[in-house]
Every structure is written in structure tokens, then in C-alpha cells.
């Protein structure tokens, strides 16, 4: 049964799918999937959801081990998680933020007929540096977080949140928002947090990007210290129909203060998918 959201008045339909993986569906229009980042949950997308739900049907996933899916184990790989979600979600544009961007990219790579367009928000095909990929952070960053996780998982999450806002013009406000919402639906699983760090450290999807023949958008903040703007440009150069958009003044969580701009960019992305004939809503 549809339940109206207290803030917006728009009907929200809670769904428990894939062994109780939580997906909240809200709004009306073409289907759009939102995947959050490490240590968070789908509720963090509220500013963006409020911009989108008047013209999109938005499916907001709490990834396994996070939020209202916190009792569920994370699959072994981003590909496994993408496959499970693809089987239970409608054909849709996918947007992934940070860790969620790895899953969204994998969904588009694995099932291009189910993903008419892809949006990568503050994400990259590879999050750690390599000789041929300087647009990232040192692998030691994620290794250190993994070591600290075993001793003080809550402190580790809070340090990661602080890293996400470094450089943002709204850093203090964004850190307050992230900290306030991080544990809204309970504490994330430490085992799942560890696996997420492994994904961020080990995943490299660059070789598959030339197979992304749907429109794709690589959007992030100019001041992002985890995913530099150069990573967006380099990734977009690998995908045939990609474009990048860099938001001045934004850090790693641009949707907190730039949701209207991101929503507009998604509308433009849907238009590009419509030009293909199948469209975002087909």
C-alpha cells in the first residue's frame, strides 16, 4: 500500500525484495534507481529525491548491510549485487554514488538492455591509483580504513564521512548532515563495511567502459578529494556516449547542496536515452 511521505506528500511504496533488501519507490514517471555509498543508506538521497519524484519513479535501494537492509550479507562482488538487483528492478536509468557507482556501472555493463542510461555520481571505474590511472587515491587509504575498522568501526565511518566533505564549499553543513543520517536506520554491518572497502580498493572496470553504448553521465565535484574531476573526464573518455559534468564548489557528496543541478542533468540524460528510440521509460 502506498504511504504518503510526510515531507512531500508524494506516495512512497516500501518494498522488501531479494531476501529483504529494502527498496523504497516514490514518484511517477520514468524509472530511476539510486544506489548510495559506503557506510550510508538510501535516506541520504532525500534532497535529490525531492527534486526528482514529480517526474521520475525513483527506486532508492538500501544496499545489503546498510540501513534497512543491514541484516543482509553483501554479495561477493559488485557484479553479484548488480545481478541480484537487476532481477528485481524494472528497466531503469541507474545512478550510483561512490561505492554505489561501481554497482551501477556493473549493471550497465552486464545488462545494457535493462539500463537505458547510466549516471555515475562522484564515482569512478577505479578508486585507487595505478601507473596508468593517477586520478584516484592511494590504496593505502582504504587499507588503513580497513585496519581501523576492526578496532573502531564507528570512528572509522565518521573519519570516512569527514574525508567525503573535505574541500567542499559547504563542508561543515554536509558533515553535519552525513553524521546525522548515517545511523538513522541502525548500525551498518562491520563485515559489510569491510567488503565495501575491498571493492573500493580492488575493483577496476575501465576495460569494460568501451562497451557502454548507452548514454552515460559522469558527474561530481571539482573539490572532491576521493574522486578528482580528472577521473570523471578520463572515465568519460573511455565510454562511447559519455559526457562529464563538474560542479564548482562541490565535494564528494554533491547531492546535498546541488540536487537541483543533478536533477536537471538527469533529465538531460533521459532525453539522450529517448533519442535512442527505446527511451528511459520504455
Q: Which residues are catalytic?
A: 98, 224, 252
Q: Residue 248: how many CA atoms within 13 Å on its side-chain side?
A: 0
If you compute the radius of gyration of the chain from its CA atoms, what whole number of angstroms results? 17
CA distance 246 to 237: 14
User: Which helix (H) or strand (E) covers residue 34, if one does?
Assistant: strand 31-35
Q: Per the annotation, does 99 bind a ligand?
A: yes
CA distance 213 to 78: 20
Nine cell digits for residue 273: 536515452
DSSP 171-191: HHHHHHHHHHHTTTT-PPPHH
Residue 255 DSSP class: G
Per-position b or e across 184-199, b if 16+ CB within 10 A of its CB: ebeebbeebbbbbbbb
CB 157 within 8 A of CB 166: no
Q: Per the annotation, does 63 bind a ligand?
A: no
Residues in the chain: 282
Give the C-alpha distances (Å, rounded to integers) separating 147 from 138, 141, 158, 204. Answer: 15, 10, 15, 22
Q: Per the annotation, does 252 bind a ligand?
A: yes
* Three-state secondary structure readout of 200-219: HHHCECHHHHHHCCCCEEEE
Q: Per the annotation, does 38 bind a ligand?
A: yes
User: Which helix (H) or strand (E) covers residue 162, if one does?
Assistant: helix 153-165
Question: 3-class SS at 241?
Answer: coil
As annotated, the binding site includes 38, 98-99, 252
As annotated, the binding site for substrate includes 38, 98-99, 252
Amino acid at each position: 500500500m502506498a504511504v504518503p511521505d510526510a515531507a512531500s506528500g508524494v506516495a512512497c511504496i516500501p518494498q522488501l525484495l531479494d531476501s529483504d533488501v529494502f527498496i523504497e519507490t516514490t514518484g511517477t514517471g520514468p524509472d530511476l534507481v539510486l544506489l548510495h555509498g559506503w557506510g550510508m543508506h538510501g535516506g541520504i538521497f532525500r534532497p535529490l529525491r525531492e527534486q526528482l519524484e514529480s517526474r521520475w519513479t525513483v527506486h532508492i535501494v538500501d544496499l545489503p548491510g546498510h540501513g534497512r537492509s543491514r541484516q543482509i550479507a553483501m554479495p561477493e562482488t559488485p557484479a553479484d549485487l548488480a545481478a541480484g538487483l537487476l532481477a528485481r528492478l524494472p528497466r531503469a536509468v541507474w545512478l550510483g554514488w561512490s561505492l554505489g557507482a561501481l554497482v551501477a556501472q556493473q549493471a550497465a555493463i552486464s545488462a545494457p538492455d535493462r539500463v537505458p542510461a547510466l549516471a555515475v555520481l562522484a564515482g569512478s571505474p577505479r578508486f585507487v591509483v595505478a601507473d596508468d590511472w593517477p586520478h584516484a587515491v592511494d590504496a593505502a587509504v582504504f587499507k588503513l580504513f580497513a585496519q581501523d575498522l576492526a578496532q573502531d568501526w564507528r570512528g572509522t565511518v565518521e573519519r570516512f564521512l569527514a574525508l567525503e566533505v573535505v574541500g567542499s564549499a559547504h563542508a561543515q553543513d554536509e558533515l553535519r548532515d552525513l553524521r546525522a543520517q548515517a545511523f538513522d536506520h541502525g548500525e551498518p554491518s562491520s563485515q559489510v563495511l569491510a567488503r565495501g572497502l575491498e571493492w573500493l580498493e580492488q575493483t577496476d572496470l575501465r576495460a569494460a567502459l568501451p562497451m557502454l553504448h548507452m548514454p552515460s553521465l559522469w558527474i561530481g565535484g571539482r573539490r572532491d578529494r576521493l574522486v578528482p574531476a580528472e577521473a570523471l573526464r578520463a572515465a568519460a573518455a573511455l565510454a562511447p556516449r559519455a559526457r562529464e559534468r563538474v560542479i564548482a564548489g562541490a565535494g564528494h557528496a554533491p547531492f546535498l547542496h546541488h540536487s537541483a543541478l543533478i536533477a536537471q542533468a538527469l533529465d538531460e540524460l533521459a532525453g539522450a536515452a529517448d533519442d535512442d528510440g527505446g527511451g528511459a521509460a520504455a
